[in-house]
Structure formats: structure tokens, C-alpha cells
């Protein structure tokens, strides 16, 4: 499909990006057992009171995964869509959490990152183990003229990203989507290996790690500047429910 055709109707790009998230989710399901949280059952399909915007938000948890979000929303009138696959681990290991976001704004936007669970200024072993392996990819994107690094104007959002975070916009083309697909699978495969090889966190450190994880997850959800887009599309009440669901405020499991 030609670039200008994609810009007129985002159905094709939405289906491609959603297909990527589903492929990544399949890899998760092959490794972890998770169960849907009943708190978001009524968000499996939601829509705007006016207009054609609609979406789906599903959350899960399991023995090893504390909170998993797999969601999408679309506004056919503007061509905007976004989707998330975020995996927050339980404190039995200290492997970074894993987050993916893909969108059309109407340019292609993507965010992929290993969310740190330790102080990277002082825990140099953690830095070398989990962030050095992706530094080459980070530098390659910086040097690729097809991709423009996206730098958030929101201080906390920049603070929450690692220094190897892949956060970019690019033209919507089959070529750029293929690059994103390849790197996303590399990120997932590397992360799954880390999980399998991780050492256990001592029991007396798990409560503090769990508390830190929740603070980070809640702050990211609440301080995301794109929440204002959801307010315009769905109103304050539904947006509040969506944001609360992203961090698990009303979780039941």
C-alpha cells in the first residue's frame, strides 16, 4: 500500500501494528500463564459517547507477572490509533519490566523499553547486564534518517525512560514497520532469556521492590500527557477508568 493511501485510512497500519502486538503476546503466552482480571471486563469493548472512537483494554496477572496490559484504541475520523503491551513482573526477580507502545499520530510512533528496577547510577552490574546489550540498537536508530527521536516535554515521562529507550516517529511505510517488527521481537526474545536466567530476589527485599514497581507504574499512567487525547475522545469519567486500569487501581486478582 502506498504511503499516501495509508495516511487517508489507518486501517491497514492499525492491523499491522496490532498484529505485531499479538505476535509478541503469543510469545508471552508460550512462557507465562496469566489470568484476566475481572476489574477490566467491562473495558474489553468501549466507545465514545459521540463520534466513532472505540477501543479495548485487557489486563492480566499470574504467578510471575504482576500486571499485564494489552490494549488498543482507534479514532477513525482522525486516523489516530494506539496500542500497548506492557509487562510488569512480580518482585521474585529484578529483571526490568518490558513496555511496547505503537501508534499512528498520523505518523508512525513507537516506544519500546526495558523499565529499570534498580538505580542505574550505582548498580553498574545491572546497567551492564540489561542495558548495554541494547545500546547498539539505540545508537543505530539515532543514526537512521528514517526515524526521528521523540522527546517528551513531560519531565516524569523522560525520567521514566531508560537511556536506551527506543521512542521514535517515522513515515508510515512497509519498510519502517518491518524494522519496528524486527526490533520488537528482538526486545521480547532478549527479555524472555533474562527472565529464564534471573536470580531470585531475597525474600526480605521483595516488598520494597513491589512498592517501587507500583509507584512507577501508577506515575507513568497518571502523568502520561496523552491522557488528554483520551479525555477529548471519551470524556473524563471513562478516561479516569482507563488510566486506573493501566496501573491496576481496581484490580481484583
**Is 191 a member of any domain?**
yes
CA 116 to chain centre: 14
Q: Determine which of 3-12, 14-23, 150-159 has the lowest per-residue pLDDT on average.
A: 3-12
Q: Looking at the predicted structure, is the pLDDT value of residue 230 above 60?
A: yes
| Angstrom distances, CA of residue 204 to CA of 88, 91, 126, 201, 209 | 20, 11, 19, 8, 10
Task: Write the pLDDT tens digit of every residue in 182-213.
Answer: 999 999 999 999 999 999 999 999 999 999 99
The residue whose grid cell reads 521483595 is 206
CB distance 215 to 186 below 8 Å: no
The pLDDT of residue 11 is 87
The DSSP code for 3 is H
Q: What is the DSSP string of 204-235?
A: HHHHHHHHHHHHHHHHHHHH-TTHHHHHHHHH
**Is 189 a member of any domain?**
yes
**Is 193 a member of any domain?**
yes
Cell numbers at 58, concatenated: 485487557
**Is 3 a member of any domain?**
no
**Is 5 a member of any domain?**
no
The pLDDT of residue 5 is 40
d(CA 47, CA 129): 43
- 27: containing domain: 10-247
The pLDDT of residue 26 is 98
Average pLDDT over residues 122-126: 98
- Between the two ends of the chain, the Cα-to-Cα distance in Å is 43
The pLDDT of residue 3 is 43
**Is 179 a member of any domain?**
yes
**Is 252 a member of any domain?**
no
The DSSP code for 69 is E
CB distance 112 to 179 below 8 Å: no
- Could you tell me which of 113, 127, 61, 52 has the C-alpha nearest to residue 89? 61
d(CA 83, CA 102): 5
Region of residue 15 (left: phi > 0; alpha: psi -120 to 50; beta: else): alpha
As a whole number, the mean pLDDT across the chain is: 94
The pLDDT of residue 194 is 98
How confident is residue 10, by pLDDT bands cut at 50, 70 and 90?
confident
The pLDDT of residue 124 is 98
Average pLDDT over residues 76-90: 94
Q: Looking at the predicted structure, is the pLDDT value of residue 6 above 70?
A: no
Query: How much of the chain exceeds pLDDT 70, in percent?
Result: 96
**Is 41 a member of any domain?**
yes
Task: Write the pLDDT tens digit of every residue in 166-178.
Answer: 999 999 999 999 9
Our count of domains for the chain comes to: 1
Query: How much of the chain exceeds pLDDT 90, in percent?
Result: 89
CATH number for the domain harbouring residue 232: 3.40.1500.20
CB distance 20 to 84 below 8 Å: no
The residue whose grid cell reads 503476546 is 25
Q: What is the DSSP string of 86-130?
A: EEEE-TTS-PPEEEEEEEESSSEEEEEEEE--S-TTT-HHHHHHH
Average pLDDT over residues 8-29: 91
Average pLDDT over residues 40-65: 95
The pLDDT of residue 55 is 97
Amino acid at each position: 500500500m502506498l504511503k499516501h493511501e495509508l495516511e487517508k485510512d489507518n486501517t491497514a497500519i492499525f492491523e499491522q501494528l496490532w498484529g505485531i502486538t499479538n505476535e509478541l503476546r503469543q510469545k508471552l503466552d508460550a512462557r507465562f500463564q496469566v489470568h484476566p482480571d475481572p476489574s477490566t471486563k467491562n473495558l474489553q469493548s468501549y466507545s465514545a459517547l459521540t463520534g466513532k472512537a472505540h477501543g479495548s483494554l485487557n489486563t492480566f496477572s499470574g504467578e510471575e507477572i504482576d500486571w499485564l496490559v494489552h490494549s488498543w484504541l482507534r479514532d477513525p475520523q482522525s486516523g489516530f490509533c494506539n496500542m500497548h503491551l506492557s509487562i510488569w513482573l512480580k518482585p521474585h526477580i529484578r529483571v526490568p519490566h518490558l513496555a511496547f507502545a505503537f501508534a499512528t499520530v498520523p505518523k508512525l510512533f513507537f516506544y519500546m523499553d526495558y523499565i529499570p528496577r534498580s538505580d542505574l547510577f550505582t548498580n553498574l552490574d545491572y546497567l551492564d547486564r540489561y542495558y548495554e546489550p541494547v545500546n547498539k540498537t539505540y545508537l543505530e536508530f539515532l543514526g537512521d534518517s528514517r526515524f526521528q527521536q521523540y522527546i517528551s516535554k513531560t519531565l516524569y515521562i523522560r525520567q521514566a525512560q531508560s537511556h536506551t529507550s527506543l521512542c521514535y516517529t517515522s513515515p508510515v511505510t512497509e519498510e519502517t514497520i518491518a524494522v519496528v517488527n524486527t526490533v520488537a521481537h528482538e526486545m521480547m526474545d532478549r527479555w524472555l532469556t533474562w527472565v529464564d536466567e534471573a536470580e531470585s530476589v531475597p525474600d526480605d527485599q521483595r516488598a520494597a521492590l513491589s512498592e517501587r514497581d507500583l509507584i512507577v507504574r501508577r506515575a507513568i499512567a497518571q502523568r502520561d500527557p496523552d491522557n488528554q487525547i483520551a479525555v477529548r475522545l471519551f470524556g473524563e469519567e471513562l478516561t479516569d477508568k482507563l488510566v486506573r486500569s493501566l496501573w491496576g487501581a481496581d484490580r481484583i486478582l
